[in-house]
Amino acid sequence: MLTGLNIALIGGDARQLEVIRKLVELDAKIFLVGFDQLDHAFTGAKKAKIEELNFSEIDAMILPVSGTSLDGQIETVFSNEKIVLTEEILASTPEYCRIYSGISNQYLDDLVSKTNRTLVQLFERDDVAIYNSIPTVEGTIMMVIQHTDFTIHSSTVAVLGLGRVGMSVARAFHHLGAKVKVGARKTKDIARITEMGLTPFHLQNLEEEVKDLDVCINTIPHPILTAKVISKMPPHTLIVDLASKPGGTDFRYAEKRGIKALLAPGLPGIVAPKTAGQILANVLSQLLLEELAHRKESC
């Protein structure tokens, strides 16, 4: 149980509701900042404005998946309030206070480094990334169905990258009956793709491999689908770019060439906010329980 733990949950979207639900269940005391327009009331969770919080009593701070913007703003869909995470706020928390977010950026990195606090980026964890790949795959299938006039079954699909998302996407499209080939750069990945019963190719040969594609799904956060590569694709090819912004596609060139290319960020939060929230809630509660046990041991 998280009895006695004071947690500030600042901003976020529908996924945070699952986090609140779980932490309340574990008896933590939650302060909700940026939730003034949320109709639902959680027993054990108190809405507050950021300036009203006594951060010296906060044991852990939970930010939205996006962390902060590059100027420190915290996004929230349940408030119109402008919420900014400042150095002053972090410095006023106890030294052991951990900050949890999905991802980070230069602003947040600088802030935790200046204040000597620990930032935990949940999306860097393999378990979170793998669980999250499940709703990501479902969202990708939805996008491909919405933007094509042919079946996934029997179509030729390339998946670029065999990371945590690439592997799940490739497997799912294979099971839907697509002819799946996967591009990677490591020999161990080429071996794994072969073992999965899919067709491997080295990314060096990408220009050659895109010539017969119906769908190209990119998971590589690096400019990989360049103008030169796109120029080799059949005109009907659909590109779905899953890599984090700005993606790995030359969207300007794709548009010029008349190839439909979609950047599709944040699919888990769009297609399955409840599941995506539960994934975060489970990992967060486990981490907070471990942290609390560790603190009790060292007292």
Binding site residues, ligand NAP, CB under 6 A: 129, 132, 136, 161-166, 184-186, 203, 219-222, 242-244, 264-268
Q: Which is nearer to ligand NAP, 110 or 127 (CB)?
A: 127
Q: How far is the CB of 213 from ligand NAP (least distance, A)?
A: 18
Upstream peptide bond of 246 is cis (omega within 30 degrees of 0): yes
Q: Which is nearer to ligand NAP, 234 or 265 (CB)?
A: 265
Question: Which residue number places its CB atom closest to ligand NAP?
Answer: 163
Q: How far is the CB of 144 from ligand NAP (least distance, A)?
A: 13
Q: Which is nearer to ligand NAP, 226 or 231 (CB)?
A: 226
Q: Which is nearer to ligand NAP, 58 or 183 (CB)?
A: 183
Q: Which is nearer to ligand NAP, 83 or 277 (CB)?
A: 277
Q: How far is the CB of 231 from ligand NAP (least distance, A)?
A: 20
Q: How far is the CB of 56 from ligand NAP (least distance, A)?
A: 35
Buried-state track 252-282, b at ≥16 Cβ within 10 A, e below 16: ebbeeeebebbbbebbbbebbbebbbbbbbb
Residue type, 276: A
Q: How far is the CB of 221 from ligand NAP (least distance, A)?
A: 4
Per the CB < 8 A criterion, the answer to whether 167 and 195 are in contact is no
